[in-house]
Amino acid sequence: MDLFGTLTCGVDEAGRGPWAGPVTAAAVILDPANPIEGLTDSKKLSEAKREALAPLIRERAMAWCVAHASVEEIDRLNIREATFLAMRRAVEGLQHAPDLALIDGNALPGGLACEARAIVKGDLKEPAISAASILAKTVRDALMLELDAAYPGYGLARHKGYGTAIHAEALTRLGPAPCHRMSFAPVKAASLSA
């Protein structure tokens, strides 16, 4: 909220690039009366620091929501549109409807019920986007640990679904699991050779 009472949420995603798992988005409205020290782009923080900040964000923010687009939605829509879908769900899920959404990146999801602005490197410039970045990353990482338990052998807990050499080798050896994005070229190639 600013001096004029405008409710502004920051929005960011985690998991656009991986070969497995959902894409996750978060929306956060920070409370100026309850500041949180140390907010920055989640990729600049250690895992321990992200895990320490995430509960503070949930506790001190005026509103927050984390949402996903599933592997099936990614494969049906494409990763860009699925990311926008997750972002819309996160904004719509906020306990307070924002007047303005600040979105990390250079493109905006359509269909938001409020004004929106894209901010390149917004997760470094806007604390609300930084907070959203941290929530999206920590929630998605926790989901990948669950998927690792459900689909052992791929190393999902370690690489979080990203395209590492270990992941590529496991895909070749085991073929894709239901958590893999079949529309992604390396997964598609592994499914054809399996």
Q: Using CA atoms, how far apart are residues 125 and 130, in angstroms rounded to an integer? A: 8
Residue 51 assigned as binding residue:
no
Q: Which two tokens stand for residue 180?
A: 């893999």
* Cβ(112)–Cβ(101) below 8 Å: yes
Q: Is 72 annotated as a binding residue?
A: no
Residue type, 184: F
Determine whether 175 is exposed, middle or buried from the number of CB atoms within 10 Å of its CB (0-12, 13-18, 19+): middle
Residue 159 tokens, joined: 């690489």
| Nearest CA-CA partner of 21 in 155, 145, 161, 157 | 161
CA dihedral 172, 174, 179, 182 (to 10 degrees): 40
**What is the Cα–Cα distance from 92 to 115, expressed in whole angstroms?**
13
**Is 73 a known ligand-binding residue?**
no
In the chain, helix, strand, coil percent, each to 5? 45, 15, 35
Binding site for a divalent metal cation: what residues are annotated?
12-13, 104
Binding site: what residues are annotated?
12-13, 104
